[in-house]
Structure 1
Amino acid sequence: MKHPSIIAAHEQSPLLEPEPTTNPTMLKHGLMGLRAMRGGKAMPQTIGHRGFKAAAPENTMAAFKAATEAGVDALETDLHLTRDGVVVLCHDETLQRCYGNKAKVRDLDWSEISQLRTLREPHQPMPRLIDLLEYLDLPGLEDIWLMLDIKTHDDAEEIMKRTAETLASVPSKTPWSTRVTPCCWNATYIKLSMTYLPDYHITHVGFSTSYARCLTHIPNISFSMLRHSVASPFGGRFLRDMKQLGIPVHVWTVNEENWMEWSVREELSGVITDEVALFHDVCDRIGNAEGQAPATNKGLRKTTAPKSWFLYQKARFWGEMVLIHFLITIFLARDWLKHGSQSRHINKIERSTTKTHHKDRAG
């Protein structure tokens, strides 16, 4: 039996279609560049964060199945390598938080990890990437695409190579290159994605709009940004520029209703959320409401609450912004220590894409 989103897509009206005002270059991004139709209006696509985390243990097959049954447009998950080179779906470097084991994922073989179960009920095993790909190839799930957040704890070349091998090993009715996007935190991983997955759309996932701007020359790039990084005045300019360039922008992790409304107002390409059902409710309400402004420009809802409450919310918003930018600085410093100067890697990518462009024109 097809789940409701697939029925709507194939038998009633397209679930995903570009707005009339969408930049035509957005179409080159395939499913990643489209917007969902809800309530007769174009909305951001719904992307299940680690599956449907609110309904089942994160990054488990139960969470992914719950997400597809809830009608998501895409799934987001995280990649790590086991000691024997198996690509598994787990967010953390260690197994402590989700599985109660203090070991790091890379320090155990798949045969050991496969015996673990989540601390959260219903107790679930950790899936491999191959398990999720085989599930997404089932009839009725062909329109669901996948974001692979490639964590930076493993050897960069090894995890990219193993990911490419896994994708190549699973037959699909439609090419995985049209349904899967590797999500890379820095230029090192982007360059490796271009090497090992040359036909795939690439997503840069990160915090810095300045860093993202340096990557706009890469063909078929899209961005998955922390919501706070694009909610400031500089972020607003970034969103406008990316829309003009036809580059999709998705944001994470959006679980509060006011942020969901802000995402709709900003006409984002997609929203990565734990609260799939709530986001659908918000989209349906906004889509069915005529002439109602869904949110203010800063992610704070219009309210009739006392002024003190409004001031508290505004102070909280900017407090979060300061904290996030502090954490961004720490993350970028750590990344520089581990991978070296990113400007050097970006320049290499730019030279590589320029050579390819000239070669194509000469051909």
Structure 2
Amino acid sequence: MCAAVYVLSTVTGYVLASALLLKCPNILHRRKREAFRSRHISHRGGAGENLENTMAAFQHAVELGTDMLELDCHLTKDEEVVVSHDASLQRASGINDHISNVCYAELPPYLRKLGVTFQRGEHHKSLCFCEGGEDKRIPLLKEVFDAFPNTPVNIDIKANNDTLIKKVSELVVKYDREHLTVWGNASNKIVKKCYKENPHIPVLFSLPRVLQLLGLFYTGLLPFVPLKEQFLEIPMPSIMTKLKDPNRLTRSQRIITWLADTLLMRKALFNHLTARGIQVYIWVLNDEEDFQRAFDLGATGVMTDFPTRLKDFLDRNSVSKSQ
């Protein structure tokens, strides 16, 4: 009887402590310092309004007042750090080769129009396409740093390449951007290498770490665990129903989407992380319904292919950075 009472009191104490620290994490953890806070994040510079990852896209987004540019990096044959999403040149340039096999000066231009991955055309039947202007050139990362010295940049390191990671770090240091940069990848191996190369550049949660984070949250252990990451960047699973024809989704796909959305989109989790100084970005959202839901859930920022849409939404709804 005494043992049962002891166990019950211990469990009750743990649950109460967990609940308290979930809402007031700074009792146990020092809040991470935020050098910047981003509501408006332009995915690949705004892939729905200009050709993705081009200087024209980045310029347009910055002129609109975006808080952050999101971009992707690869390494060329002559070890130049370029801004491009795909390792292959096939989708974006129509060339059957890889960036790593081509010197920078020989890289082909982008095609005249590119599909927007997170936006479907009418009735979900086809991709939405963005038709670009004159700028079809794959830029260097240092050009972005040169052109936008005060704009935070979110870098997806697209390849598990030690030289790429080292060179990106060197550029960040050279341009004095450790306080204006976040980097990482879904791969935990890449994130670990990034952190080891330069622990002064904030890192994103990798996919395995996101899963671990959810496990800690649902077991009540999260309030007791230190976190090295400063940015949680996650998809909103429910947008899958907008990217595919709803009539073509199987029952299992619907269930998986619903379950993933229910587990991941949690206001209590987002509030806890932001109280610890960890920003929460949700991607890639392209309509007002999803913008509204993300901010209602407590997300710090939204990543979009359509920076003008998001800016108009923020202006009309007066969403502040502190919200």
Q: TM-score, normalised on structure 1? A: 0.61
Q: Residue 265 of structure 2 corresponds to which residue in structure 1? A: 235
Amino acid at match of 1:52: G
1:275-294 equivalence runs, <5 A:
275-287=306-318
CA shift, 1:244, in A, is 4.4
- Contact preservation (8 Å) 1:26, 1:248: no
1:178-217 equivalence runs, <5 A:
178-206=179-207, 209-213=210-214, 217=226
CA spacing shift, 1:122–1:179, aligned 2, 3 Å: same
- Contact preservation (8 Å) 2:184, 2:194: no
- Contact preservation (8 Å) 2:75, 2:99: yes
Q: Which contiguous aligned blocks of 4+ residues in structure 1 show a shift greater than 6 angstroms?
A: 21-24
1:86-139 CA-partner distances (Å, limit 9, x unpaired) = 1111111211222121211111111211x53443332411001111111112xx
Taking only the aligned residue pairs, the percentage that are identical comes to 23
1:243-262 equivalence runs, <5 A:
243-262=274-293
- Contact preservation (8 Å) 2:172, 2:181: no
Comparing 97-106 with 116-125, greater Cα deviation is found at 116-125
Q: Distance in 1 between matches of 2:31 and 2:70?
A: 20
Q: Distance in 2 between matches of 1:131 and 1:252?
A: 25
Q: Distance in 2 between matches of 1:268 and 1:22?
A: 17
Q: Residue 72 of structure 2 corresponds to which residue in structure 1? A: 78
Name the SS of the counterpart of 1:203 in structure 2: coil
- Contact preservation (8 Å) 2:156, 2:183: yes
Q: Residue 324 of structure 1 corresponds to which residue in structure 2? A: none
Q: Distance in 2 between matches of 1:262 and 1:205?
A: 23
- Contact preservation (8 Å) 1:77, 1:147: yes
1:184-211 CA-partner distances (Å, limit 9, x unpaired) = 2232122211222221111125487423
- Contact preservation (8 Å) 1:186, 1:204: no
Q: TM-score, normalised on structure 2? A: 0.68
User: Is it true that 1:56 corresponds to 2:50 in the alignment?
Assistant: yes
CA spacing shift, 1:159–1:96, aligned 2, 3 Å: same
Structural RMSD (CA)? 2.8
Q: Residue 126 of structure 1 corresponds to which residue in structure 2? A: 138
Amino acid at match of 2:166: K
Name structure 2 gaps, 5 residues minimum.
Answer: 1-23, 114-131, 217-221, 239-259
Amino acid at match of 1:181: V
Q: Which has the higher contact order (CA 8 A, sep 6+)?
A: 2
Q: Distance in 2 between matches of 1:190 and 1:46?
A: 24
Name structure 1 gaps, 5 residues minimum.
Answer: 1-20, 36-44, 289-363
1:164-175 equivalence runs, <5 A:
164-169=169-174, 171=175, 175=176
Q: Distance in 1 between matches of 2:152 and 2:82?
A: 18
Amino acid at match of 1:228: P
CA spacing shift, 1:283–1:168, aligned 2, 3 Å: closer
CA shift, 1:55, in A, is 2.1
CA shift, 1:219, in A, is 2.8
- Contact preservation (8 Å) 2:32, 2:278: no
CA shift, 1:74, in A, is 0.5
Name the SS of the counterpart of 2:96 in structure 1: strand
1:30-70 CA-partner distances (Å, limit 9, x unpaired) = 21xx36xxxxxxxxx10011112222110000000000011
Q: Residue 267 of structure 1 corresponds to which residue in structure 2? A: 298
Q: Distance in 2 between matches of 1:25 and 1:268?
A: 20
CA spacing shift, 1:122–1:76, aligned 2, 3 Å: same
